[in-house]
Homo-oligomer: A and B are copies of this chain.
Amino acid sequence: MSDLLERLRGRGWRLTSQRRVVAEVLDGDHVHLTADEVHARAARRLPEISRATVYNALGELVALGEVAEVSTDGRAKRYDPNAHHPHQHLVCSGCGLIRDVRPDGDPLAVLPAAERFGFAVSAVEITYRGLCPACARPGPPAAPSNDVRAPG
């Protein structure tokens, strides 16, 4: 994570306490927080941080390619710090849980050149949908959560 901060500083990113906290909140695997969740967590350490600042920082991290925006539910966007580790998402239709997965092989190869209609395809986003183990089990499904994280 301090790697990230170093890298950004090298690119001329002015390092403020607000930006540091935002970057720290967005650390780890299977992290897919909304802007509001990032703000809430950042505010635990820096109570006066404003939403606008969080949106600014997130937008810059996305523009710099350090964080990826994912819209899995059509509501608020989620921010994924795993941008340097190409991966796909497994999304539970029951509780909203999101897991990162990294199948072998080049996902771009899935679309034959003959079917690209002349497009210069440079990226592919793949989302698998289905029920997670907890929601697939008989009985009450896992409660939907606004704070979707990796289990355990």
Contact = CB atoms under 8 A, between A and B. Distances in A.
* Copies of this chain assembled into the complex: 2
A129 B133 CA distance: 32
A57 interface: no
Interface string A95-139: 000010111000110111001111111111111111111001000
Interface residues of A, number: 37
A90 interface: yes
A85 B129 CA distance: 18
Interface string A18-56: 000000000000000000000000000000000000000
Interface of A: 69, 71, 74, 77, 88, 90, 92-93, 99, 101-103, 107-108, 110-112, 115-133, 136
